[in-house]
Amino acid sequence: MCGRNSLFIDQADLEARFDAEVVADGGYTPRYNIAPGDDLHIVTNEAPDEIDAYHWGLIPFWADEFEEGIINARSEAADEKRVFERAWESRPCLVPSSGFYEWKSPNGGSKQPYRIYREDDPAFAMAGLWDVWEGDDETISCVTILTTEPNDLMNSIHDRMPVVLPRDAESDWLAADSDTRKELCQPYPKDDLDAYEISTRVNNPGNDDPQVIEPLDHEQSGLGEFRSE
């Protein structure tokens, strides 16, 4: 599962990193604690030179009314699920990240949050799928983050992890056919991801500041449940 993200690289560096321009309504604001239901800045296959903001939570196209949507999709089965059918076939995207968060329950105890990041890259890309939900009075562009089995680093923290793309696979993810993209949905193969314990301040989405990423104490105040596929 990937239930919390961050993206706090400077805009100029973000645009240079992905060779794309921010076009989102409202522009770009660095975020340290992006929760489901917030907007994620993404790069789609239809506009690889643009960084836009989409609702985090893919809304089923058959839904009569707006709902928060599905924040994660299991990459092993996304191509078999009706809700992801058209997104998997032709709507891949990159989800830039300065680091995502995961929670571990040691021996069934209180959940301890971790920050997972790439020290040599201030923004990396997770694999996502985008779609457009059309209601009676509104249209919402939305996105879900694909997950896979954990790599060695994540295995001690959680039994799932987002599909983190090696940098040289990012353009392939956007341009390849669905079969090739399926092959890219692997546990992150390199050893440049790192993780450390952080304060439970991240549990509250209202805490959206640099203190969130600081290694602090183990105080636990509770963690909400998010919908994930």
pLDDT digits (tens, 9 = 90+) for 111-164: 899 999 998 888 999 999 999 999 888 999 999 999 999 999 999 999 999 999
User: What is the pLDDT averaged over residues 196-218?
Assistant: 91
> Residue 227: pLDDT above 60?
no
- How much is the pLDDT for 54? 98
Pairing of strands 92-97, 124-134: antiparallel
- How much is the pLDDT for 229? 55
Residue 62 DSSP one-character state: T
d(CA 3, CA 1): 6
- From the candidates 2, 93, 142, 185, which is the catalytic residue? 2
The confidence band for 44, taking pLDDT boundaries of 50, 70 and 90, is: very high
> Residue 2: pLDDT above 70?
yes
**Which H or E element spans position 39?**
strand 39-44
The confidence band for 168, taking pLDDT boundaries of 50, 70 and 90, is: very high
With a pLDDT cut of 70, the percent of the chain lying above it is: 94
CA dihedral sign, ordered 151, 225, 215, 14? positive
> Between residues 73 and 216, which one has the greater pLDDT?
73
Beta strands in 112-190 (DSSP E): 112-118, 124-134, 139-148, 161-162, 164-165
Burial class of residue 120, CB neighbours in 10 A (0-12, 13-18, 19+): exposed
β-pair partners for 197: 114
Residues 220, 200 contacting (CB under 8 angstroms): yes
The confidence band for 217, taking pLDDT boundaries of 50, 70 and 90, is: low
Concerning whether 185 is annotated as a catalytic residue, the answer is no
For 24, the token pair is 């989102």
pTM: 0.92
Estimate the share of the chain in helix, then strand, then coil, as percent rounded to the nearest 5.
20, 35, 45
Concerning whether 102 is annotated as a catalytic residue, the answer is yes
> Residue 17: pLDDT above 80?
yes
- From the candidates 102, 142, 170, 185, which is the catalytic residue? 102
What residues contact 167, with CB distance under 8 A and at least 6 apart?
121, 124, 125
